[in-house]
Structure 1
Amino acid sequence: MKGMTILGARPQFIKSACMSLELKRRGVQEVMIHTGQHFDASMSQIFFEQMNLKRADYFLDIHSLSHGAMTGRMMEEIEKILLLERPDFTVVYGDTNSTLAGALASCKLHIPVVHIEAGLRSFDMKMPEEINRILTDRISSLLLVPSQAAQENLAREGFESFDSQITWIGDVMLDSLLHFRPFSTPPKGIPKENFILCTLHRQENSDNKERLMEIIGAIEEAGELMPVVLPLHPRTRARLEHEGLKLDESKVLVIDPVGYLEMLWLLEHCKIVMTDSGGVQKEAYCFGKLCLTLRDSTEWVELMAQGANFLVGSNKEMILGALHQHLEDSIIPDLDIYGGGKASQRALDALLNFFKETP
């Protein structure tokens, strides 16, 4: 059996690590396409090196385009490879343009699509990611969901009457976190403890000057309470320069993007997390850290229900108010809600059973 894995962005490299190991363990041949959506070495190559990921069989080098142009170019190139390789199925992860392009190209060639992280919803159609995940779910044959809420979303939307199979597996990102945690590495020049970890990259924040100014103001003021470590995403750095905005580095420790092993160390040793990343919200929880989410919505609603995640949007006063309120709080994570580190095993069980049951 041959499977095609399509990746393009940092979180997908992380999610695929244990899945690739499990595919190999079960004797399934994996062919990998890296679309190039995240092309910067600090956002791409370092992850392949640190996590000993399978080297991509095809690198498309498609990036820095508009959403439509990027997705269209990816579809065109992915289709050529699919016709050449003739895989039995395609695996896509999450909600990026690479995800949608891979799913569309495969579906049109009648190749079953396996969507890992199916069913997630922010209910914010202004987010490109929301459009990508909804469309990918609808054309996927096997929907592998990470949470109970994701499964309920699909049920509400009528997916149980569609020609697809829905299976809860948990979160493959947790598998990778537990697998690589013992190898975490501190970045140079970082406090050993008692610091705030912040990440900021979402288009809704970086491309909106008013939101960006509010968040930057909150980050700088937070730095008066406790050191703030900010691995600055290339996209955000470029937007700050474009808007003529500058972070006060006497209050914020701005560093280059870090690899996965360094990020795990930062998550384990920080006091609290501020982020607009979906993946970092979950990772913070798995390390027992509270998270202030710099967005107006989140897909990970179970973390809000547990009092581990607080939506603070981009309003400076709301961000700082939540920070003051929760800086000394702590949580005990329940890793079973995300599969306890066995999501990749469940994914392969579901995949192999799907082919047994499908004529």
Structure 2
Amino acid sequence: MPAPRVAFVLGTRPEIIKLSPLIRACHRREIQHTVVHTGQHYSESLDTVFFDQLELPAPDHNLAVGSGTHSEQTAEMILGIAEVLSDEQPTDVIVQGDTNSALAGAIAASKRNTALGHVEAGLRSFDREMPEEINRILADHAADSLFAPTGEAARLLEAEGIDADRITVTGNTIVDAVSQNLELATRKSTILEEYDLEPAEFYLLTAHREENVDDPDRFAGILGGVGEFARRTDRTVLYPIHPRARENLAAFDLSIPPSVRLVDPLGFLDFLVLESSARLVITDSGGVQEETCILQTPCLTVRDTTERPETIDVGANRLVGTESSTILAGADEMVSRDGSWSNPFGDGTAAEQIVDSLL
């Protein structure tokens, strides 16, 4: 069997973070690899800066796709990725998660008949109105190797007719990433001092998903519920706000509660320190649900569905939607959780298991 030549396709902050343990493992084990950055996140503060912060080499290829409709973005990515694959001739293409970059990488690899591996396979929200749900389903069914983070994810894949011999339960690479980077974050980050925050005395908010921040009623419900809970408990909410969400605040003429403090997007190391130090995290991010679960920080998810039900099953997370009243009730319940739940996402060896399978 020839030595593998791996092409990693990524384009967003979560992909960079979750694939970083795999990229490091390939470097450590001297496996030939290339990194293709689609440029799906076109803000310097939202993507390429993470390579520096995580002490990773710069991407070998940057397609600089930038903004556009989902269709425009995906189509341009497929063309760019296909050209890179033609030049690089990898034996394996690795994609992660549920982004347009993951879908584009999966399509480009399948059209070349190049082996495709999907990291974080088998997640399902069962909400087909989410673009991410369609992306992850299509990537799963195109993949030759599906690296499921949990046994439940593997069961869902088999229920969809995917052969069990294509599925490997590895745990989630976010456990590897958190364990590898938490010490680095603690050593490098001064974010608590910069914002004058005391551990366990503040809340952290992330809200960026289209179905929330592009809908004035849902966005207002999140801000109102979080702001009122912070007022009642006399704590501050730190909200690192996505550029599109900031634009929508003005477009919808939404007011920011006095207890909610807006800040610019943060690097992963700073954000990791905030997640580990917050008393409660309120989020619509799938990755943040996982990270807080691993860090033993209580989480409240302002969505109607989640593809991370394991976080709810172990008591680390609660799903509350976007109505202010349900956010208040959920926050009252979660804020007193002590973080004693078990981690359902593996033992931090997912990257090594995936690399072993490539070999």
Same fold (TM over 0.5): yes
Q: 1:192 aligns with which of 195, 198, 220?
A: 198
Which amino acid counterpart does residue 177 of structure 1 have in structure 2? V
Deviation at 1:351, TM superposition (A): 1.9
TM-score by length of 1: 0.94
| Alignment-derived partner of residue 273 in structure 2 | 265
Deviation at 1:190, TM superposition (A): 3.8
**8 Å CA contact 1:186, 1:266 repeated in 2:** no
| Alignment-derived partner of residue 355 in structure 1 | none
Deviation at 1:338, TM superposition (A): 1.6
In 1, Cα distance between equivalents of 2:78 and 2:46: 22
In 2, Cα distance between equivalents of 1:205 and 1:157: 29
TM-score by length of 2: 0.94
Which amino acid counterpart does residue 318 of structure 2 have in structure 1? F
Q: 1:202 aligns with which of 190, 193, 209?
A: 209
Secondary structure at the aligned position of 1:223 is classed as: helix
| Alignment-derived partner of residue 181 in structure 1 | 182
Aligned ranges 1:271-310 → 2 under 5 Å: 271-310=279-318
* Aligned residues between the structures: 348
Deviation at 1:28, TM superposition (A): 1.2
Q: 1:219 aligns with which of 226, 229, 233?
A: 226
| Alignment-derived partner of residue 172 in structure 1 | 173
Deviation at 1:245, TM superposition (A): 1.8
Aligned ranges 1:1-359 → 2 under 5 Å: 1-160=4-163, 165-184=166-185, 185-187=189-191, 188-193=194-199, 194-224=201-231, 225=233, 226-248=235-257, 250-335=258-343, 337-352=344-359
**8 Å CA contact 2:206, 2:284 repeated in 1:** yes
In 1, Cα distance between equivalents of 2:224 and 2:148: 37
Secondary structure at the aligned position of 2:68 is classed as: coil
Secondary structure at the aligned position of 1:201 is classed as: coil
Unaligned runs of 5+ in 1: 353-359
Unaligned runs of 5+ in 2: none
Deviation at 1:39, TM superposition (A): 1.7
Runs of 4+ with >6 A deviation? none
Secondary structure at the aligned position of 1:328 is classed as: coil
Which amino acid counterpart does residue 186 of structure 1 have in structure 2? T
Deviations 1:280-339 (A, max 9, x none): 00111111111110111111111111121110011110001111222122122423x322
Q: CA RMSD in A?
A: 1.2
Moved more, 320-329 or 265-274: 320-329
In 1, Cα distance between equivalents of 2:250 and 2:67: 17
Secondary structure at the aligned position of 1:159 is classed as: coil
**8 Å CA contact 2:240, 2:262 repeated in 1:** yes
**8 Å CA contact 1:286, 1:333 repeated in 2:** no
